[in-house]
Structure 1
Amino acid sequence: MTEEEVESLTTAWRTRWDRSPIAYQLRGWHADRWVRFHSLPESKRYADTEDEYEIILDRHHRVLDQLGAQEDLYVIATYFEDEEGRVSPDPRHLGAVPWLTIEPGDDSPFEVAQRLYVSMTSFDRQTLDPLLRGVADGEIFDVIIAPLDLRWLHHPYDGGADVIAPTTHDRDVLKNRHADWLSTHSAGL
């Protein structure tokens, strides 16, 4: 991404969301548009077989498709910097560039700075599957996938995905289509 594209994202994010892009906090942002889907049947958290990985990847792609994912998407992910300034895990394999830093105490419960990196990617299995599989295995975390206009947010995590749909109606359509992917917990967790 160019500096101009990163600046455009920053402006769009502040205009649309007006809060720090901390993925695991999404569910508290717009309860009327939020829904959580589990990645595997019976709320199983991690895949043990290739068939289970295929279920996880298929569910993410189906939701992204139904949200209206187009050719280009933002992928935002959090990385942590150690005392020597090394970022872990290395975001360069995703083609990501530094975007924002969230310091301890700035909406963050962590004692070290969170470095948010961003990349633009295409909506296809060959591009997204390695990322989604890394998330499913807990190797990449606090990821947000969003269209360039940021009208919806998809936060995959190891065990499922939180979604902020464009509207309450869109959220309800997703929930009805994938009712068997929802939690039985009363709060939808």
Structure 2
Amino acid sequence: MTLNGAVEPQALSQLWDRKWPECPPFAHWLPDHYPDRWARFHSLPGSKRYPDSEAEYAIVLDRHYTVLSELNPGSHLLIITTEWTDTPKTTPQRWPRRSEVAPTSRHWRTLIEEPDEEPDFRSYTQLYAEARPWQPGTIDILLRAVADDEISGVLLGPPNLGWLYHPYDGGADVIVSTRAERDELKARHHTWLSDHPAGL
């Protein structure tokens, strides 16, 4: 990471492979690969999925920022956003909203989630990364877009990738460094957990 928040793609790839060797950076794969370090929190009371008032958006943002602040990114927050294309090239984009909420991000890497698919039907996952000075409120627009299902596949973390935070429409998956840390986090916010036996 440079002083202006730019992220060097090769260095980020090496860091990811060192910190999270069991899983490529597909946000929705992480709970299955790190189940003993994973917690899921819902964004609204009663596990309501989508906010429909400013009061509910305020609850969504407060829950995200509460957990992120407890995880403590440090001076900067690493932001990884996702796009999908029909070819290995980064354009045309299917979801232009991504570039609107993360306009300073740089292309990081291209992945294929289903490499065995026929070439004509493959979808290429394009990952973009940036680092922003951290403080609550710094990613309101991005989190609201996630809450409205305008973008998906977002990953947040500290510059050293010591933990990962995946907000989605309805909640957030958190992957921390130890089971004990996970359990402490769940105990602090037990009312935000799902009633589902698998924690979904």
What TM-score does the superposition give when structure 2 sets the normalisation length?
0.86
1:89 CA drift (Å): 2.4
For 1:71 and 1:106, the matched residues in 2 are separated by 37
1:104 CA drift (Å): 4.7
CA contact (8 A) 2:115 2:122 kept: no
For 2:180 and 2:66, the matched residues in 1 are separated by 17
For 2:141 and 2:7, the matched residues in 1 are separated by 27
For 2:174 and 2:137, the matched residues in 1 are separated by 22
CA contact (8 A) 2:154 2:168 kept: yes
State how 1:142-157 maps to structure 2 within 5 Å: 142-157=153-168
For 2:165 and 2:13, the matched residues in 1 are separated by 18
Partner SS, residue 121 of structure 1: strand
Amino acid at match of 1:21: P
Amino acid at match of 1:71: S
2:44 to 21, 28, 40: 40
CA contact (8 A) 1:76 1:118 kept: yes
Residues 2-11 or 27-36, more deviating: 2-11
2:95 alignment partner in structure 1: 89
1:55 alignment partner in structure 2: 59
What TM-score does the superposition give when structure 1 sets the normalisation length?
0.91
Partner SS, residue 160 of structure 2: coil
1:126 CA drift (Å): 3.6
CA contact (8 A) 2:77 2:133 kept: yes
Identity within the alignment, %: 44
2:111 alignment partner in structure 1: 102
1:64 aligns with 2:75: no
For 1:172 and 1:127, the matched residues in 2 are separated by 27
1:124 CA drift (Å): 2.1
Residues 65-74 or 172-181, more deviating: 65-74
1:32 CA drift (Å): 1.1
CA contact (8 A) 2:49 2:170 kept: yes
State how 1:92-171 maps to structure 2 within 5 Å: 92-93=99-100, 94=102, 95-106=104-115, 111-171=122-182
For 1:171 and 1:160, the matched residues in 2 are separated by 16
- Structure 2: give runs of 5+ residues left out of the alignment: none
For 1:88 and 1:81, the matched residues in 2 are separated by 7
Amino acid at match of 2:111: I
1:13 to 12, 16, 35: 16
- Structure 1: give runs of 5+ residues left out of the alignment: none
CA contact (8 A) 2:43 2:49 kept: yes
CA contact (8 A) 1:20 1:107 kept: no
